Amino acid sequence: MNDQAWIEAALTAARPRAVAALMRYFRDLDLAEEAFQDACLKALQSWPSKGPPRDPASWLIFVGRNAGVDGLRRRSRQTELPDEDRLSDLDDVETPAAERLDAADYRDDVLRLLFTCCHPDLPATQQVALALRIVSGVPTARIARAFLVSEAAMEQRITRAKARIAQAGLPFETPSAVDRIERLGPVAAMIYLVFNEGYTAPPQQGERAGFAEEAIRLGRLLLRLFPGEPEIMGLVALMLLQHARGPARFDAQGAVILLEHQDRSLWDRKLIQEGLALLDKALRHVRPGPYQAQAAIAALHARARSFDETDWNGIERLYASLEVMEPSPVVTLNRAVAVMKTRGPEAALEMIGPLADKLDGYFYLHGLTGALLKQLGRHDEARTAFDRAIALANTPAEAAHIRDQIDSLAAGQQAAPAT
């Protein structure tokens, strides 16, 4: 691995902890992010020659804090600063505010920052987008794709959220019991988006693939804070069940292996058992929700000993329930896959037809459309759909999969007898 690659991986892994700690120091989101960027620049200058520090996150926090203090001095020459010991003493991490947070079991800096970003004064879309960008460093373009909006629109959304936090002077303090419940939904959504960023990354993209485990860690912490909340149980169960399939999802070259071709002996049975147990515990509360429904779908896949034994009727029913709980064109698109298995490609194609306008910029719509048209023998239309899909691919693995589909179309047409 070259210098640039390992440094980028180290910075990516350290970002959540470092930004969260700097936010605790400065109580200012812009200043914390700016201090982290300054520390990253110094790392790029220092680490190639000196090697990585033993604890990159602590190094970035220390350097970022000093850079932030220097920045405050430059911008506040006419304003008296606090005493040096208040700015420089490492013990200031245990301020009264932090102690109150710790006393309330908010012991993880990253989780504290999540609750700050997901403050109810911000619209829900801004809460999730801001937390995803600031806490996990996910590129704005990828966040935009997750929300099915343009990159420019997402950049404006994040900018507005940061400005609103600065204007409101939102306190970095322990939220009340009511506040916690109000913020739970956006925090859970943010964690699942982080998980998906890692889940879709092939093993070769280690710095991004690590987001899946980071999201599971955050989910476990959230569950510790809300041990009786079945939707958080469902969220963690869903991530565990999906992550269990990770070792079988890509080949040695990083190409996608579809579910039907995966070697199920590679699935992590320990994670599956933990996820199934957690889902069963959630369902006993009899308070259904979207994460529990999605986890139940993942559980049906996990329980099937082979692809042919998958309970597609049960999966379709669960997606139908999910459409009622959380109407979304993406949910309908996923349901269409189950419909294809139970009622055939024609019925599935009819189901996704109305989604064309809403999901025109969505890779999976065109990939599924191409697959359905291919099954129906409509190869020219399938090629058009696959061409659109490959232009929208989010990863090299997705693009490679679509190229394989196009190649198989060409091979099938060459083998077809003349008429």
Q: Is 284 contained in some domain?
A: yes
Q: Is residue 199 pLDDT above 70, yes or no? A: yes
Tell me if 403 is assigned to some domain. Answer: no
What pLDDT does 300 receive?
97
Distance CA 232, CA 219 (A): 7
Range of the domain at 288: 228-247+267-303
Residues 196-215: what's their mean pLDDT? 75
What is the tally of structural domains in the chain? Answer: 3
What is the per-residue pLDDT for 392? 92
99 in any annotated domain = no
200 & 279 share domain: no
pTM over 0.95: no
Checking if the pLDDT of 150 tops 50, the result is: yes
Same domain as 232, residue 167: no
Same structural domain, 182 and 203: yes
Tell me: do 169 and 201 sit in the same domain.
yes
CA geometry: angle 5, 10, 13, nearest 5 deg:
125
Segment 202-207 shows an average pLDDT of 65
Whether residue 207 sits in one domain with residue 120: yes
H runs (alpha helix) in 353-395: 363-375, 379-391
63 found inside a domain: yes
Burial 209-242 (b: 16+ CB within 10 A, else e): bbbbebbbebbebbbebbeebbbbbbbbbbbbbb
Closest Cα to residue 180, out of 279, 100, 112, 107? 112
Please say if the pLDDT value at position 81 is more than 70: no
With cut-offs at 50, 70 and 90, classify the pLDDT of residue 242: very high
Mean pLDDT over the full length of the chain: 83
Same domain assignment for residues 123 and 199: yes
Query: Is 140 a member of any domain?
Result: yes
